[in-house]
Amino acid sequence: MKIWKSLLIVLMIFVNLAFAQPSFADRPKFSKNPDYIEVTKSIKALTKAKEAQTEIEGVTPEEIQQKIDELAFQKYTLETGINWGQCDNQTGKTIAVYGKRPNDEENEDAVYDNDLYFLADGQSTKNNWDCDGFYLPNDAKIAGLIPDGQVFTEPVAIKIADGSKLVIKTNPDTAAIEINFPNAQIAKANQVNWFIPNVSQALIDTRVPNAPTNQS
């Protein structure tokens, strides 16, 4: 009788473990997120520069502190487990954005880490779909970055961290692209495994919008 009781207890333990297993599953570690690592490095570098009173070309001490505060907020956002970004197009034109495949399927033949999609004016990329940034056409000017008014001699993309909502607009007076994200990174072809073409806005306008959106 005791043997049967012991076996019954063991069986109950295994059943409970089988049903409770998902609760013990490890959450993705934000500390391994490349965006989290980059944000943490930037905070340390800027804090060190501020403490040493090291001047950064084109950036005032007040702007350095503002950047540290914004990065600290991004760091907190990543620590809460949000692992996707969102892009909102308010430029009046189609833009090209970077993101993973909507079906999350891995493609062994993929050459680049991200695909290039086209986002229509007035649309935002879909919730939980990770928009990593957007392409800057070779005839476009961009404002809102630090230092402001940068001139690029090669094709670039604008990269954002997970947990960010990037709003892209066009200044009606200067026709320059403006973003709400001063800590966005400039990504060049030799720095990220993204397809960064050398094309104009006119060519982007000819593409059919295909980015996953909240409106679709």
Give residue 58's pLDDT: 60
Whether pLDDT at 149 is above 60: no
- What are the tens digits of pLDDT across the range 117-135? 999 999 999 999 999 999 9
Q: Could you give the CA distance from residue 142 to residue 156 in angstroms, rounded to a whole number? A: 11
Mean of all residue pLDDT scores within the chain? 80
- What are the tens digits of pLDDT across the range 155-170? 999 999 888 899 999 9
pTM over 0.75: no
Give residue 122's pLDDT: 96
Share above pLDDT 70 across residues of the chain, in percent, rounded to a whole number: 75
Calculate the alpha carbon distances from 35 to 41, 52, 68, 104, 161 in Å.
Answer: 10, 26, 15, 19, 5
pLDDT bin (cut points 50, 70, 90) of residue 72 is: confident
Q: Where are the beta strands (DSSP E) in the chain?
A: 86-90, 95-99, 115-119, 131-136, 142-143, 156-159, 165-170, 177-179, 185-188
Taking residues 51-78, what's their average pLDDT?
Answer: 75
